[in-house]
Each structure stands twice: as C-alpha cells, then as structure tokens.
Amino acid sequence: MFNYSNLVQPFRNTQNVEIDDVPRGHVRISADINASRTMRDKANQRVIAGKTVTRVVWFCVAAGYEISVWADKQGRFSFGDGYVDVPFYQARKMGILGDYMSVHTVEGTFSKKQQNEMSQPHGGECKCMGEICMFPF
C-alpha cells in the first residue's frame, strides 16, 4: 500500500481567515480541490429532485497525486480554501494517521491541538511578520 506521509503537507492558515476547528474523527491536510475531475466523475453523481448531488470530491495533495473524499451520511464534505479534512479511516489507509488523531506529513507529526492552532487566524503560537503569519512548528 502506498504511504502518503511523504507527500502531504500540513495546512497552515497563512491567509488569516476564520476557519472551523478540525471535526471529530478527521485530520486536516493541505489540499486543493480538483473541480474539473469532480465534475467529470459522472459515476459518483446522482440527480435527486432535479438537482445534481455529488458524493465524491477529488483533491490534489501533491504534484501528480490526488485523493477522493466521500460525503458523510448527511451528504456533507469538510474542506475549505487550501485544506481538506480527511476521515480517520481514510487517513489510516493513506498512512498519515498517527496516535490520538495526529497526522504524519512531510514536515513532521502534528497533534490535533497543533492542527487546530495552525487553522486559526493568528493563532496562539504564531509569530506575525507583517502580512504573513509564521508558525514555529
């Protein structure tokens, strides 16, 4: 099985926008949505009451590497500008899930608390340098 821990980056809120904490049972990594592949994936779309419902969203986690994230039971996804929250069962299969919901990335292992702090605008452990927010992690 392929191990993604050598590819994925941790998400850092360098844009200083308000972002929710990492949901329970998820880990947060840096990723960009691949809208064209998501829209072309007709096998995972259904038309319900005249509206197209997407069950899978594709994300680019590194150059040439994409992952798919399925909707939860309520049909919702957890992602934002530059990040995706990966469910723990998928993170385990990808080889990025550590102990106590920590995430293994290229830059090291980050606990759930660190993931939440890196997601906050000007979090408690950031060192702000003008427009850019720098983290000591």
**Predicted pLDDT of residue 137:** 45
Instruction: Using a pLDDT cut of 70, give the percent of the chain over it.
Output: 88
pLDDT in tens, 82-91: 999 999 999 9
Distance from C-alpha of 112 to C-alpha of 58, rounded to nearest angstrom:
24
pLDDT in tens, 44-66: 888 888 888 889 999 999 989 99
Query: pLDDT averaged over the chain?
Result: 86
Phi, psi of 117 (to 5 degrees): -65, -35
Mean pLDDT for the stretch of residues 97-114: 91
pTM beyond 0.75, yes or no: yes
SS3 4: helix
User: Total domain count for the chain?
Assistant: 1
pLDDT score of 13: 80
Tens-digit pLDDT profile for residues 4-43: 889 999 998 877 788 899 999 999 999 999 999 999 998 9
Q: Rounded to whole angstroms, how far apart are CA atoms 120 and 21?
A: 8
Q: Across residues 121-127, what is the average pLDDT?
A: 58
Q: Domain span at residue 37?
A: 4-134
Residue among 135, 132, 129 nearest 14 (CA): 132
